[in-house]
């Protein structure tokens, strides 16, 4: 093989290497662009996750607040129920006392009617004597 033939073969080989290198460079650039897009998407997802976590934390805080308030309201409700039961007992007691007073008044009215009847009888007797 002559020097010229060897040189031609080397040129072909170098040209093939250059073509392969260009292809690999193009693939590398494409992968780099994809990697940049993926990195950007990951950053966006991280921000979205952070935002979601903040929302979850806020919701958790709100739920804790509501649970504390629910306990307070339940305690207040129990106290109100106890007071209401006490008031019901007092009203029942007052109703009983009022019934007793009404019964006594009925007896007093009956006695007064008896006294009036007796007085009418006495007046009639006294008028008849005159």
pLDDT in tens, the chain (130 residues): 788 888 888 899 999 999 999 999 999 999 999 999 999 999 999 999 999 999 999 999 999 999 999 999 999 999 999 999 999 999 999 999 999 999 999 999 999 999 999 999 999 999 998 6
- Report, in angstroms and rounded to the nearest whole number, the Rg of the chain calculated over CA atoms: 54
Instruction: Quote the tokens at residue 19.
Output: 């073509």
C-alpha atoms less than 13 angstroms from C-alpha of 125 in its C-beta half-sphere: 6
CA distance 14 to 27: 19
Query: Tokens 């008031």 belong to which residue?
Result: 87
| pTM as predicted | 0.48
């Amino acid at each position: 093989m002559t020097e010229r033939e060897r040189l031609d073969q080397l040129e072909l080989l170098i040209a093939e290497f250059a073509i392969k290198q260009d292809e690999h460079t193009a693939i590398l650039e494409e992968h780099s662009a994809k990697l940049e897009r993926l990195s950007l998407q990951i950053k966006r997802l991280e921000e979205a996750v952070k935002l979601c976590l903040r929302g979850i934390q806020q919701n958790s805080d709100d739920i804790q607040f509501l649970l504390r308030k629910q306990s307070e309201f339940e305690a207040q409700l129990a106290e109100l129920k106890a007071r209401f039961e006490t008031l019901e007992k007092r009203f029942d007691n007052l109703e009983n006392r009022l019934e007793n007073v009404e019964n006594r008044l009925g007896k007093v009215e009956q006695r007064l009617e008896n006294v009036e009847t007796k007085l009418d009888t006495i007046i009639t007797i006294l008028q008849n004597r005159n």
